[in-house]
Structure formats: structure tokens, C-alpha cells
Amino acid sequence: MSRVLIVDDEPDIRELLALTLGKMGLAVETAGSVAEAQRMLAASHYDLALTDMRLPDGEGLQVVQYIADAGLDVPVAVITAYGSTENAVAAMKAGAFDYLAKPLSLAALRSLVKSALGVRDVAAAPAGGLRLQGESPAMQEVQRLIAKLARSQAAVFIHGESGTGKEQAARSIHEQGPRAGKPFVAVNCGAIPETLVESEFFGSKKGAFTGADADRDGFFQQAHGGTLFLDEVADLPLAMQVKLLRAIQEKTVRKLGAAQEEAVDVRILSASHKNLAQLVADGAFRQDLYYRLNVISLAMPALRELRDDLPRFIGALLERYAGAERPRLSAEAVQALLGYHYPGNFRELENILERAVALCSDGRIDPADLQLGGVVASDAPGVTPNGGETLQDYLDRVERGVIEAALAQSGGNRTQAAKLLGVSFRSLRYRLERLGMKEQ
């Protein structure tokens, strides 16, 4: 088991990082100061160190410098204030291999750790795969399209609300295609400071700027032969959009400070929760880049369109967060989960259930433990649990009541009822057939 040292004076940050890395199968120890970190580094071996820049008795750079001076074989990364290019450059000059900007992105943290240690994110894998499983028509269509897109090398633009699993869809396309054995590099375009975006994408040569003490590959070089996934691509600055377009068209990039371009072979997948076509119309996104990225489009359904799969998702997530001590959902909690709108989609469901597992008592999750922030859509009357009834039977009765209420409210108009329920007409028709309500 790889050992990681986290150095930060804020207990909440230490706990968050420790929980995240612990779920990746890593052994985590923490320190709250430069002196404590140095003592721990002298006494034990660590496979990775992660330190904040500002500490009560000094700076994180002193931790980096200590590791370098002592000749310790410990890769170290620093956490720096958002947009603080000077700190990032100083850290890498002192020997840090990478940095994270505040506010912290857990996805960026996992990516950094996997890069440093070559470990698989065991915490993200089950949930990621779970997002793309299911028997509902909408998810079956996504699975069918992913299998087809995996055989192609065309650029794919994945769109959908936040939390619908766009990155997991991109990973599935990569893993099912001919580039599966090559790198998959995921980039959050909105998390890179504008002053560093070009060097991050294309790399830099030694001496290209202050602190560039060695040649450094960018995202394109790291993904050579594989797939480059541009998440939240709508957040790229316009100036960088021009350079990205040329790199995609010419299949070459030039490192900062380099005289020659180098060829790169990458498949481009991109995603955004924003409406790119509208951004193009507003002049906020380049039309030519839009057409390069959006050769094929893949829409990710919202969780409210996958209600048939909710029992499967809920059960798997409870097992993930609680293990063998999986708590029991009360009938009221089941009804609340089924009727909730989930504006944050699958990511919100994960958050709700992880919190509920932590808050519940006596092995039972009640509605209060869920802390649902919105209005529960299901207000179907007279739906109470029967003795000996299975969870699926109970859910079917609740869903039947919700659909009947929507049909009554819409005067029997199925199209309007689907809108009231927040699902597609096709999804509603499937539910009516599955529940034996075809004649309604």
C-alpha cells in the first residue's frame, strides 16, 4: 500500500484529502506544520507528499526543499492559491513535480496522485461504471452509441447537465476502442489559470520562462497515441481556442520556447454542461472550433430520466459507502429518493447517500438523514408499504401513483404528463408498458 503525507494546517482540508486518498487505497498520514512534516519525513518513508504553501511555521516550499536536500525519493506536489503563478513556478523550481490550485478539485487531486503513483482510482471506478449501467431506455441508448463511437476515431462532443457522467462516457469510449491500451488524459479546462494554459496544453522547453528548469510535456504529448478529454471545454479562453483549433487541424504542437513543431496523435473527446451552439451565437466560442469538436454528439441523460434504474443505483451506492453494515431504508426514505428531482444528477445522489450513511442511526435511513435540498416531486396519495412487499414492488406502486397523478393533472395527455414528470415521452411510454398501464 502506497503511503502519502499530507501537510496542511487546516484540519478540515487534511480530513478531506485523507478521505479522498483513503478511498483510492492509499495509506495517509498528516502533519500540520513544516517542523512536524520534516520530522515525519526523517522517520518514515513516503511514496508521495502533498503540502500547502502557507503553514504556521513557514512555507510549503521548505518541505519541498527539505526533501530535495535530504535526497529523499519522494515526489512532492504543492497546494497554491488560485492563479498564483509565482508560487507554482517557485515550487517546481524547488523540486515539486506538480501543483494544485485552490479551491481544490478532487478530480484534479485524483489525477495528480494517479500520475505520481501509477495507481488506479478504486473509489471512482465502481461509481463511474455504475453511472453507465442500467436498463432504462435512455441508458440503453447511451450504451449503444458508446459502443458505436468507440470504433470510430472522430471527435465526439458529450453534453448534458452537471453530474450526469460525461467523463465516464468519455472513458468508456476510450476503453472500448483501439486506443484502450494508450493514455487517457482528462483535462478540466476551467481549472487551469489563464497564464499557464498554453504551457499546460503544449508543454515547454527548458528556459522558456522563469522557473522552467527542464523540458516538460503538455497534455497533447502525454496523450500521444491515446485520447485527450477536454472537460468543460466552453471555459477555454478565446485566445487558447485559436491555438487548440490549429493543433487539432494540423496534428502538431509547439512547446513554449521550441523552434520546431512536433507531431501528435490523439483522439479528441470534449464535454460541457453549457450550450456550445448558444455560446457560438453569442460570440463566446469559436464557430470553427465548435465544428471540429462536435463531429458527433452524445447526450447524457439526467438522472430523473433513469428512475427505472434508481433501485439499482441506490443499492450499489449504499453497499459502496456502508459495506457489510449496509443500513436499511425506511419506506418514507425510499419514497423521498424516488420522487426527488436530482438537480445535481448522479453526483448529487452519491452525496445524498454518503451523507445519509454517516448520519443514520440504528442501521436505518430516514428522510431526515437524506437532507434533500429540494421539493420531492412525488406527492401521490395513499402509497404506504405493505407487509412482505419487496423493495421493487413498493417502488413500482409509488411510481404508478406518481404517473397516475401526472396523467390526471394533464387530462390524460401523455406528452404533457412526461413534461410534468421531467422525463422524455419515450421514457414515459416505456414505464407505462412496464407497469401494465398501457390503456391509460
The 10 Å CB-count burial string (b at 16+, else e) for 147-182 is eebbeeeebbbbbbbbbbbbbbbbbbbbeebebeeb
Q: What is the pLDDT of residue 280?
A: 93
Rounded to an integer, the average pLDDT of 353-357 is 89
Domain CATH code at residue 46: 3.40.50.2300
CA dist list (Å): 269 to 146, 179, 266, 329: 12, 13, 10, 39
- Asked if residue 440 belongs to a domain, the reply is no
Domain boundary among 282, 301, 320: 301
Mean pLDDT for 331-341 is 83
Supply the range of the domain harboring residue 411.
Answer: 304-434
CATH of the domain at 343: 1.10.8.60
Examine the domain organization and report whether 189 and 269 are in the same domain: yes
The pLDDT of residue 127: 45
Q: Are residues 130 and 262 in the same domain?
A: yes
| 187 and 101 both lie in a single domain | no
* 261 and 320, same domain (yes or no): no
- Please indicate, yes or no, whether residues 135 and 273 belong to a single structural domain of this protein: yes
pLDDT tops 70 at residue 424:
no
Answer yes or no: is 439 within a domain. Answer: no
Asked whether residue 39 is assigned to any structural domain, the reply reads yes
Q: Which helix (H) or strand (E) holds 31?
A: strand 27-31
Same domain, 145 and 200: yes
Q: What is the pLDDT of residue 242?
A: 94
Percent of residues, the chain, with pLDDT higher than 70: 85
Residues 83, 45 share a domain: yes
The answer on pLDDT for 386 being more than 80 is no
Quote the pLDDT of residue 121.
42
* 208, pLDDT greater than 70: no
Are 60 and 87 contained in the same domain? yes
pLDDT at site 122: 39
Last residue of a domain, one of 277, 301, 325: 301
Q: Are residues 226 and 259 in the same domain?
A: yes
Strands 328-329 and 364-365 turn out to be parallel
| pLDDT tens digit sequence for 115-141 | 677 543 434 444 455 667 777 888 889
Asked if residues 184 and 167 have their Cβ atoms less than 8 Å apart, the reply is no
Tens digits of per-residue pLDDT, 212-241? Answer: 677 888 899 999 999 999 999 999 999 999
Whether the pLDDT of residue 379 is over 60: the answer is no
* Higher per-residue confidence, 298 vs 134: 298
User: Are 282 and 328 contained in the same domain?
Assistant: no
List the grid coordinates of 37: 512534516
Q: What is the pTM for the complete model shown?
A: 0.59
- Asked if 318 contacts 326 with a C-beta cutoff of 8 angstroms, the reply is yes
- Based on the fold, state whether residues 153 and 62 are members of the same structural domain: no
Number of separate domains in the chain:
3
Q: Tell whether 148 is covered by a domain.
A: yes
For the residues 42-54, what does the mean pLDDT come to? Answer: 90
Q: Residues 130, 345: contact at Cβ < 8 Å?
A: no
Is the same domain home to 150 and 259?
yes
> Among 58, 85, 117, which residue terminates a domain?
117
| Residue 315 within a domain | yes
